Chain A
Amino acid sequence: MTGSSEYQPPQNRSPQGQRLQDAWNHATTPVGLPELAWRPALAAQLSKSWPSAREEEWKYSPISQIQAYQWSPVADEVRFELPEGVEACRMSAVSGSVLDRVKSLMNIPPAHRFNAMAWIMDQDVWVIRVPRGLSPSAPLRVFAPRGSEGSWSCAAWILLVEAEAHLSVVEYYGPQASATSWGARFFLESGSAVEHLRVQSAASDSWGFAESIALVGENARYVQTQISSGGKMCREDAVVRLQGRGAEAHLDAVFMARQEQVLDHRTNIDHEVGDTQSHQLYKGLLADSARGIFNGRILIRRGAVGANAAQLSQNLLLSPQAEINTKPELQIDADDVKAAHGAAVGQLDAEHLFYLQSRGISEEKAKEVLLLGFALEALRGLRDPELLKIGNSQIEAEANLMLRTRKSEALASESSRSGKLP
């Protein structure tokens, strides 16, 4: 890209921006792949100034805070626990039809420059393959790198699920690094099914950029459930392309943010063909002066007759300083489709509270039960008992943490009030 409109004066370059760009410039195309079409555009973005709050994309993010740092971008190792029959090999070693699929996955541009870092820094990612018709009883466990302080940890992986295969996946994403770029790309062949649970529990001072991209084939079913509670700021992008008739995606999430945390969730669902379904339930639980962001994009392409898209964003604000920015973006270019979206922001329902109290449950306990119930609904898409168990205990632990801090704050404000008495 050339032209005077692209010129940026060098003083706009931040230390962190310079670091990232240097790393990017040294990185080559991932091993075994031709030049990626999206690379130049994202490289150009990195070489420009640091993203500012004026850009729609980063409007609600405190992203500018990172630019003063000089964290080193490093490629970190991903760890896997493979169920029986599931295979793993490096991207550089794949060939034939597997390589074709990897290519079609890799051709999709990352949602933004920091997600791109995951794929540029991590040169030779693991490709996990579930052979045709296989349905392992145990889940695939994936451990994102923990990284270290002062580093910008980058890692990614690829999952190919062959026809009629079924797999459960648990992704543990709990970095200690100062910043992370974490990517996952899934290819679901016809008639396959994936239940994917991602547990985000980043360290409280870390910045995270995670992305998942799924290509879903004919009659394939992709369920993604995210539980996010960590990080100073964590953004998670979920991209789904429904490419075959009968393809389904269920994207559910609960994000529980406290203190000054910012948890940012973006979804982008593309109904490329007709008779496809997408269902989304995004639940925000926001305490203190935390901020939640949900941005849900749905595209129903021309000719995608019979597509059905439903999106619901539900949010509970537990303090007057907490904030949620929720925005649906629907683009419907086809006739005879169903598309519904809704957003709700509120406090706990007074009638629900009274109902529980009228059964002998104290107000405090009733609030606990309702809060937990609100969060647990995010698990509605999971069938695998193992994933449900992990999801349940993670949500319970995080909800309890949220309640405990609320309780101790209530006590603190009570004692400070009584302290003022003469």
Chain B
Amino acid sequence: MSATSMEKPALLEVVDLHVNVQGKPVLKGLNLTIRPGEVHAIMGPNGSGKSTLSKVIAGHPDYEVVSGQVRYEVNFQMRDLLELEPDERAKEGVFLAFQYPVEVPGVSNRNFLRTSYNAICKHQGTEALSDAAFDQYLKSKMALVEMDEKFLDRGVNVGFSGGEKKRNEILQMAVLSPRLALLDETDSGLDIDALRIVSNGVNRLKSRHNAIVMVTHYQRLLDHITPDFVHVLAGGKIVETGDKSLALKLEEKGYDWLL
């Protein structure tokens, strides 16, 4: 780890985390520290527990934490993230871009984004925007991910293509400006143009104050968004950590040499 990153206090600390899914151990002693301003990539074979880690951090009720800790900085203090409800985590700046975003029929994308944004504003003690002001704000964020306005009045993700769903996730990230963004295979299923748009969006949202964790299988995403750290998650643990050159090595050699 570089000296500069050592100086900063952590934003997220995962310590010896063990998680079961339907009684089956999936995460088996996972450790990970993330500081503000950092970009992490998590790679690893299918089924190794990458989405499980993201879902646990976001607070999905199906994942049972057996032991270990997940601590998250709130107002300069490390708090037990697992004690917070999913919506409380989001209000404190945790954001998960889902690998498979669900379709929510009947709820318009605009209404969804506004309800979400206003809930977070309220928590942070800022006044909710008027509908007109919110629409204006939304417009600027939509430009960031080059999304057409027609998507606002459709049901959330309903009838969106795979790529459109991923773009919609990044739009939500842009609207909510989280402190910790977990992007679970946001690059999967994107064509070259969509990948460029999504990566540009993420790069524009990156700052000294927030951290980004990208779960990915592909080096091509890392060509657009340069990671500070690359981790390999295999068998429920981080088995290797390196800099961006590790991703190149994985692309060339696969995971076998680590297992």
**Footprint of B on A, CB under 8 Å?**
349-352, 354-363, 365-366, 369-370, 372-377
Contact = CB atoms under 8 A, between A and B. Distances in A.
Contact of B90 (A357, A374, A377): A357
Contacts of B155: 373
B219 interface: no
Contact of A358 (B59, B104, B106): B59
A355 B102 contact: yes
Interface residues of B, number: 30
A360 B106 contact: no
A389 to B, nearest CB: 15
A27 to B, nearest CB: 45
Nearest to B92: A360
Q: 5 nearest interchain CB pairs?
A: A373-B106, A373-B107, A360-B90, A359-B116, A357-B86
B102 A360 contact: no
B61 A350 contact: yes
Given A354-B60, A354-B61, A369-B115, A362 B105 contact: no
A373 to B, nearest CB: 3
Interface in B208-228: none
Instruction: Classify the interface of chain A: helix, strand, loop or mixed.
Output: helix
A358 to B, nearest CB: 5
Contacts of A352: 102, 104
B183 interface: no
Interface string B101-126: 11011110001100110011001000
B105 A361 contact: no
B58 interface: yes
A375 B101 CA distance: 22
Contacts of B95: 358
Given A354-B60, A358-B86, A363-B87, A369 B112 contact: yes
B91 interface: yes
Contacts of A356: 104, 112, 115-116
A351 B102 CA distance: 7
Nearest to A371: B106
B85 interface: yes
Interface in B133-176: 155-156, 172, 176
A360 B91 contact: yes
A366 B111 CA distance: 12
A361 B107 contact: no
B255 interface: no
B96 interface: yes
Contacts of B115: 356, 361, 365, 369
Contact of A360 (B60, B101, B156, B176): B176
